[in-house]
Amino acid sequence: MSILAAIAVLAILIVVHELGHFLAARLQGIYANRFSIGFGPVIWKYQGSETEYALRALPLGGFVGFPDDDPDTVIPADDPNLLRNRPILDRAIVISAGVIANLVFAYLILVIQISMVGVPDLSQPGVLVPQVVPESSAVASKAGIKAGDVILAVDGQDLGAGREAIDSLQRDIQKSSQEPLELTIQRSQKILSVQVIPELGEDGQGKIGIGLQVHKRSPNFGEALGNGAQEYQRIVVLTAKGFWQLISNFGETAGQVAGPVKIVDIGAQIASSDPLSLFQFAALISINLAIINILPLPALDGGQLAFLVIEGVRGKPLPTEVQQNVMQTGLVLLLGLGIFLIVRDTANLAWVQNLWQ
């Protein structure tokens, strides 16, 4: 199920990107005759009144097709609703709409997460107890632990902050079945000490009947908008720095470039260990897709925007053949890189490597 959740996240982000292009065209009255997720052979398609919707075999992105250069189209070449016949600004809106859609979607995801779930609060020490199992058999309830308490230390050892604090606390509880643990707890402004004796669970490990998290919620919607903006800015800055390091030290960092298989694998690991973090994972990947697509490279949105800039400077577009050759070359290189990353990342999966051992 964790793999399916990660695939679903990636698919949704691709749909959001392509939907941005598609809606930006249709809302301006521009013809769009294809909406495809993936490249290559068609697996499934549906022919609408004006647009063919398709799912294709290679999961390397998607595209929105326009009838401008379709030899079978019945639309006159001088029709003002063809994309190529629109002013530069109209075309720029269509081309950049996918990037904008991913950026806006990432922000909305973060706001929803902060409102409903919260974001990891890595600055505050300890582990928040969001809930305590109310049954009389629950160890934590008997010991007096309450929802909202923050566990700071176990047997005098500080837990620290972040995900590592949760992992450390879980290990201590699981390995201390039927052995006393001294927990240092912060409740409001008070520091308390409670003793718990984890009971033996069905899996043979200790448990005390509490939920654990380092997430910080903003139930107030206005506060969630502000905190979402802060988290959004943090992720954008970190992502931009990551891309700069990749470009400036490409020889050393090229091996860190991840394809869809690696992204799904990372998402699956997150979904299995902390499903709530899938929100943040989706926001991170959405921002990455936006930044990648805005790069001025052939076959990407940034490459098409570069053609528009050249057209604005020259006063006329580059010859159609030149544009087509550049874009086709870029597409072949992009697909080649995508296939290489899929093969490499698949070969590096743990279960695949086990097959060869």
d(CA 160, CA 299): 46
Q: How confident is the model at residue 352 (pLDDT cuts 50, 70, 90)?
A: very low
Catalytically active residues are: 18
User: In whole angstroms, what is the distance from residue 97 CA to residue 99 CA?
Assistant: 5
Residue 214 has pLDDT above 60, yes or no: no
pLDDT at 35: 95
| Rounded Cα gap, residues 158 and 102, in angstroms | 40
Quickly list DSSP for 259-279: -HHHHHHHHHHHHHH-GGGHH
Burial class of 291 by CB neighbour count within 10 A (0 to 12, 13 to 18, 19+): middle
Checking if the pLDDT of 55 tops 90, the result is yes
pLDDT over 90, % of the chain:
23
CA gap 55, 37 in Å, rounded: 5
Q: How far does CA 270 lie from the centroid of its chain?
A: 11
CA gap 93, 304 in Å, rounded? 11
pLDDT confidence band for 251 (50 / 70 / 90) = low
* Of 123 and 103, the one with more pLDDT: 103
More confident residue, 243 or 231: 231
pLDDT at 162 over 50: yes
Q: Name all domains of the chain by residue range, CATH numbers in brackets.
A: 2-116+262-355 (no CATH), 127-213 (2.30.42.10)
For residue 80, what pLDDT is reported? Answer: 92
Q: Which tens digits make up the pLDDT trace of 183-199? A: 888 887 788 888 888 87
pLDDT of 54 over the 90 cut: yes
Residues of 88-123 as b/e, b for ≥16 C-beta within 10 angstroms? Answer: eebbbbbbbbbbbbbbebbbebbbebbbebbbbeee
Q: What is the DSSP letter of 178?
A: T
Mean pLDDT of the chain: 79
How many helices (H) does the chain have, and how many strands (E)? 11, 11
pLDDT-derived band at 47, boundaries 50, 70, 90: very high
Q: How confident is the model over 287-340, as pLDDT tens digits?
A: 988 988 888 888 789 989 999 999 999 888 888 888 888 888 877 777 676 666
